[in-house]
C-alpha cells in the first residue's frame, strides 16, 4: 500500500509567554492508503498537537519552531505557505473534532454549510452541490437527508451532528482524515455507530485515517496500527493486535492496566490500577526517559540517558531501555 503521510523526526516548540516550550520530540509516523492509525495517550501527551502540526494549524502559527518533515503525498507540508496550505485543508486533509458545535456555524442550516464546503473545493453549481450533500448524508446513514439539510445544528442530537461532520469531512474525498476524539462526547451506542462509519468510509474510499483517542477500547475496535504517545514523544508503535496483546513499553502496559474490565483477572486482583503522578510540564528539563518518574520498571540508566529507539519487523518500534520480550 502507498504511504499517504510520512512524518520524519518532527519536533515542535511553541513560542509564548513562558518562552520557547518544546511540545513534540522527534516524532516519526506513517499512514498508508486505507489504513487507520490510532494515536493514544493521556491528556497533554501531544496527540492533538501532532494533528495540528500536520495541518499547519499550531497555536502561534508561523512563530512555532518546527524541525523535521511532514511528507503528504510526496509534498513537505512544513515548507508550504499559508495560502498553499488552504488547498490541502478540507479537501485533501479533513478533520473532525470531539464537539461538532465548535465547527458548525449555529446561524446557517446544515444544507448551506455542506454546500459551501463542496463549492469551495469543487467546481460544482449550487444544485449539484445540494445533490452531493444529500448523497453524503445518505452515506453516513442519515434516514431523512432532506429534512436534515434544512435543519440548524441546534436542532440535531450530538450523534447526528457528528454524522453531519463526517459527511462534510468526506464530501471532498480527502486522502487523509484526522479524527480528534470524535466519539468522546457520545454515549456508547452512538460511539459504535460513528466508529463503524469511519471504518466503512476509510475502507470504501482508501482514505487514510488518524484516529486520536485516550480510549483504548475504542482504538482496539477500529485501528490497524497504534502509536502510543507520552509527553510529546512516541514510545511504542506497532500493529494494533500486537500492541494491545503484547504491550512492551511500561507506559502502554500501565495504560492497558487502567482500562476497566468486565471479566475477573487471572491473578484474582480486581483493583483498578492508575498511573501514579502526572505527565511532566513540557518545560521540565528531563535528562533521561520522560516517563521515568512514574515508571515501576525504572532503572538508574533511565534517569540519565534518553532511551534508544529499537526497531523490529512489521513496523514495530519501542523507545525504552528495556529490551523487547521475545514472544512464544
Ligand atoms: Fe521505564 Fe526506563 Fe523504559 Fe523509561 S526507559 S519506560 S523509565 S524502563
Decide whether any atom of ligand 1 lies within 6 Å of the 289 Cβ. Answer: yes
Helix (H, G, I), strand (E, B) or coil at 72: strand
- Flag residues of the chain having pLDDT under 70: 262-270, 326-328
Tell me whether residue 287 is in a domain. Answer: yes
Q: Which atom of ligand 1 sits closest to the CA of residue 290?
A: 4
CA 195 to CA 243: how far, in whole Å?
A: 20
Please indicate whether residue 322, judged by its CB atom, sits closer than 6 Å to ligand 1.
Answer: yes
Q: Is residue 121 part of a domain?
A: no
CA separation for the pair 177, 35 (Å, rounded):
11
163: Cβ below 6 Å to ligand 1?
no
**Residue 196 is part of which domain span?**
3-92+174-260+273-319
Examine residue 238 and state whether it is found in any structural domain, yes or no. yes
Question: Which ligand 1 atom is nearest residue 235's CA?
Answer: 6
Please tell me the predicted confidence (pLDDT) of residue 267: 66
Q: What does the DSSP 8-state code read for residue 302?
A: H
Beta-strand (E) ranges in 124-251?
176-180, 208-213, 225-230, 233-239
Structural domain contains residue 13:
yes
Predicted local confidence at residue 190, as pLDDT: 81
pLDDT in the model for residue 328:
52
Task: Check residue 325 and give its pLDDT.
Answer: 76
CA 104 to chain centre: 20
Residue 256 forms part of a structural domain: yes
Question: What is the separation of C-alpha 26 from the centre of its chain, rounded to a whole number of angstroms?
Answer: 17
The pLDDT tens digits for 7-36 are: 999 999 998 888 889 999 999 999 999 999
pTM reported for the whole predicted model:
0.91
Please tell me the predicted confidence (pLDDT) of residue 265: 65
Task: Give the Cα separation of 28 and 236 in Å (integer).
Answer: 11
pLDDT of residue 251: 96
Ligand 1: centre distance to CA 46 (Å): 19
Residue nearest to atom 7 of ligand 1 (CA): 292
Alpha-carbon distance of 325 to 328, in angstroms, equals: 9
Total domain count, the chain: 1
- In this structure, is residue 40 part of a structural domain? yes
Q: What pLDDT, on a 0 to 100 scale, did the predictor assign at position 269?
A: 67
Q: Does the CB atom of residue 254 touch ligand 1 within 6 A? A: no
Does a structural domain hold residue 105?
no
Q: Which CATH number fits the domain that encloses residue 210?
A: 3.40.50.300
State the pLDDT at residue 288. Answer: 93
At 159-203, the pLDDT tens digits run: 899 889 999 998 888 999 999 988 877 778 888 888 888 888 888
Check if 286 has its Cβ closer than 6 Å to any atom of ligand 1.
no
- Whether 252 is in a domain gets the answer yes
Amino acid at each position: 500500500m502507498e504511504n499517504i503521510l510520512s512524518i520524519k523526526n518532527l519536533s515542535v516548540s511553541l513560542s509564548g509567554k513562558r518562552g520557547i516550550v518544546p511540545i513534540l520530540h522527534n516524532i516519526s509516523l506513517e499512514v498508508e492508503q486505507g489504513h487507520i492509525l490510532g494515536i493514544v495517550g493521556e491528556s497533554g501527551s501531544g496527540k492533538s498537537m501532532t494533528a495540528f502540526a500536520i495541518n499547519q494549524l499550531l497555536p502561534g502559527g508561523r512563530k512555532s519552531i518546527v524541525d523535521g518533515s511532514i511528507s503528504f503525498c510526496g509534498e513537505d507540508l512544513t515548507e508550504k505557505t499559508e495560502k498553499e496550505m488552504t488547498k490541502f485543508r478540507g479537501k485533501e486533509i479533513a478533520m473532525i473534532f470531539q464537539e461538532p458545535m465548535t465547527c458548525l456555524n449555529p446561524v446557517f442550516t446544515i444544507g448551506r454549510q455542506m454546500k459551501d464546503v463542496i463549492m469551495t473545493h469543487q467546481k460544482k453549481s449550487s444544485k449539484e452541490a445540494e445533490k452531493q450533500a444529500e448523497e453524503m448524508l445518505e452515506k453516513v446513514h442519515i434516514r431523512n437527508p432532506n429534512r436534515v439539510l434544512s435543519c440548524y445544528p441546534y436542532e440535531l442530537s450530538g450523534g447526528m451532528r457528528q454524522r453531519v461532520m463526517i459527511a462534510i469531512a468526506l464530501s471532498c474525498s480527502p486522502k487523509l482524515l484526522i479524527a480528534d476524539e470524535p466519539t468522546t462526547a457520545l454515549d456508547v451506542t452512538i460511539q459504535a455507530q460513528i466508529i463503524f462509519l469511519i471504518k466503512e468510509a476509510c475502507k470504501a474510499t482508501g482514505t487514510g485515517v488518524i484516529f486520536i483517542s485516550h480510549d483504548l477500547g475504542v482504538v482496539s475496535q477500529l485501528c490497524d496500527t497504534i502509536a502510543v504517545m507520552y509527553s510529546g514523544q512516541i514510545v511504542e508503535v506497532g500493529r494494533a493486535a500486537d500492541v494491545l496483546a503484547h504491550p512492551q513499553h511500561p507506559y502502554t502496559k500501565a495504560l492497558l492496566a487502567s482500562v476497566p474490565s468486565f471479566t475477573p483477572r487471572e491473578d484474582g486482583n480486581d483493583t483498578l490500577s492508575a498511573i501514579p503522578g502526572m505527565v511532566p510540564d513540557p518545560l521540565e528539563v528531563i535528562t533521561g526517559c520522560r516517563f521515568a518518574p512514574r515508571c515501576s520498571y525504572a532503572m538508574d540508566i533511565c534517569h540519565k540517558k534518553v532511551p534508544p529507539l529499537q526497531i523490529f519487523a512489521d513496523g514495530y518500534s519501542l523507545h525504552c531501555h528495556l529490551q523487547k520480550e521475545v514472544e512464544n
